[in-house]
């Protein structure tokens, strides 16, 4: 995956998404003819899974001069500690000062998503986790959220853009709405099997029109070995998906001779709920996680100047001079 796959919107480039205080500061410096080389360091307030540096690099490559610049950072997906320097930029201030808002925002939100993803993946203890939370975020950031979720350990995601940014194939087969429109889940999946390329797994939502057991067994009978799995979706139930429901569907499929059909669980899952399925011995083949990842709180990043024209300097409460971190690697 190339950094160029990330899009820097025109509104970001012209600074429309920046805090206005940075516009005014840059105006002052330009009018006064002041443009020192500064070293600015970015650190998270709390630890987590560092994410967003590839997108940051895309922005910096467009605004920093080709010479007289130096950028060091942790690797994408690295564990970052509270207060640890995760990104260091040394360049003429006017070239990048306007983008402090965008740089902090990118790292903050992406790190928050990646960290929440990691928590779910760790709870799943080897069972695949899929990011399926795009419907809970603004479409402008849905692909970035999915990308961050995969940095955090998800095996796939629901959006085409998220998959493109990670060089993978999006997960997802058919919307329950198609079953409703066609009047029957089996008929909808038979049409799916007829018209959708065979490399796409045949996995169907159940408990859409009839109960999960009847639809699961009926689908298996209709598609036989071509049916990879069924999805138990909490949005289709009033009481949510419970471990005993998964166990019963598994038992009924086995009795009908379809032990190869996998069971996926989709819904408002988090680390605790995923562990409940595992502790109960529910035979889940994959978890599709929505809001736990997409609604994760950003991990706040601070940006502080530590040198001006090579002279150690810092605001009160910070130590002047470049902070040593041997984990940083030069990226520009």
pLDDT at residue 99 greater than cutoff 80: yes
Average pLDDT over residues 300-315: 94
Among 259, 332, 306, 328, residue whose Cα is nearest residue 93: 306
pTM of the model: 0.93
What is residue 267's predicted lDDT score, i.e. its pLDDT? 87
- pLDDT tens digits, 257-266: 999 999 999 9
C-beta separation of 222 from 183 below 8 A = no
Whether 273 has a pLDDT exceeding 70, the answer reads: yes
pLDDT of residue 2: 52
Query: CB within 8 A of 37, min separation 6: which ones?
Result: 68, 90, 91, 92, 93, 308, 309, 310
Q: Is the pLDDT of residue 86 over 70?
A: yes
Environment class of residue 111 by beta-carbon count within 10 Å: exposed (0-12), middle (13-18) or buried (19+)?
buried
CA distance linking residue 124 with residue 266, whole number of Å: 13
Percentage of the chain modeled with pLDDT above 90: 87
Those residues whose C-beta lies under 8 Å from the C-beta of residue 118, and which sit 6 or more positions away, are 48, 49, 152, 153
pLDDT the model gives residue 316: 87
pLDDT for residue 278: 97
Average pLDDT over residues 92-104: 97
d(CA 114, CA 74): 15
Rounded Cα–Cα distance for residues 191 and 178 (Å):
10
CA of residue 146 relative to chain centroid, distance: 3
Closest residue by Cα to residue 275 from 79, 154, 117, 119: 119
**Token pair for 150:** 């995969």
Tens-place pLDDT, residues 126-167: 999 999 999 999 999 999 999 999 999 999 999 999 999 999
The pLDDT of residue 236 is 64
Q: Which pLDDT value is given to residue 258?
A: 96
pLDDT at residue 3 above 60? no
- The pLDDT value recorded for residue 207 is 87
Q: Domains of the chain by range and CATH?
A: 3-111+297-330 (3.20.140.10), 116-294 (3.20.20.70)
4 pLDDT band (50/70/90 cuts)? low
Tens of pLDDT along 202-230?
A: 999 998 888 899 999 999 999 999 999 99
- Report pLDDT digits (tens) over 23-73: 999 999 999 999 999 999 999 999 999 999 999 999 999 999 998 999 999
Residue 199 has pLDDT above 70, yes or no: yes
For residue 237, what pLDDT is reported?
Answer: 66
Question: Which helix H or strand E contains 311, and what residues bound it?
Answer: strand 311-312
User: 198-235 burial, b for 16+ CB within 10 Å, e for fewer?
Assistant: eebebbbbbbbbeebbebbbbbbebbeeebbbbbbbbe
Res. 302 pLDDT band, cuts 50 70 90: very high
């Amino acid at each position: 995956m190339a950094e160029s796959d990330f899009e820097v919107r025109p509104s970001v480039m012209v600074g429309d998404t920046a805090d206005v205080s940075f516009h005014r500061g840059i105006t002052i410096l330009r009018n006064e003819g002041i443009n020192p080389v500064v070293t600015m360091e970015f650190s998270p307030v709390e630890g987590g899974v560092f994410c967003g540096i590839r997108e940051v690099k895309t922005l910096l490559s467009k605004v920093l001069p080709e010479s007289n610049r130096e950028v060091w950072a942790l690797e994408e997906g690295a564990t970052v500690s509270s207060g640890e320097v995760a990104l260091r930029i040394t360049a003429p201030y006017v070239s990048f000062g306007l983008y402090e808002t965008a740089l902090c925002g990118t790292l903050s939100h992406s790190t928050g998503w990646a960290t929440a993803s990691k928590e779910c993946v760790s709870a799943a203890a080897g069972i695949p986790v899929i990011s399926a939370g795009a419907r809970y975020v603004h479409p402008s950031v849905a692909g970035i959220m999915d990308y961050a979720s995969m940095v955090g350990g998800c095996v796939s995601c629901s959006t085409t853009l998220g998959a493109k940014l990670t060089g993978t194939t999006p997960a997802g087969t058919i919307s329950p709405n198609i079953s409703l429109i066609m009047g029957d889940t089996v008929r909808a999946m038979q049409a799916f099997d007829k018209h959708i390329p065979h490399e796409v797994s045949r996995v169907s939502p159940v408990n859409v029109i009839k109960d999960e057991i009847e639809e699961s067994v009926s689908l298996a009978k209709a598609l036989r070995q071509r049916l990879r799995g069924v999805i138990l979706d909490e949005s289709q139930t009033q009481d949510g998906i419970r471990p005993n429901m998964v166990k019963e569907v598994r038992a009924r499929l086995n009795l009908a001779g379809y032990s190869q059909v996998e069971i996926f669980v989709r819904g408002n899952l988090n680390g605790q709920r995923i562990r409940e399925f595992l502790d109960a011995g529910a035979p889940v083949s994959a978890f599709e996680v929505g809001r736990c990842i997409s609604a994760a709180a950003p991990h706040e990043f601070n940006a502080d100047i530590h040198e001006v024209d090579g002279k150690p300097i810092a605001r009160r409460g910070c130590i002047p001079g470049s902070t040593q971190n041997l984990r940083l690697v030069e990226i520009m």
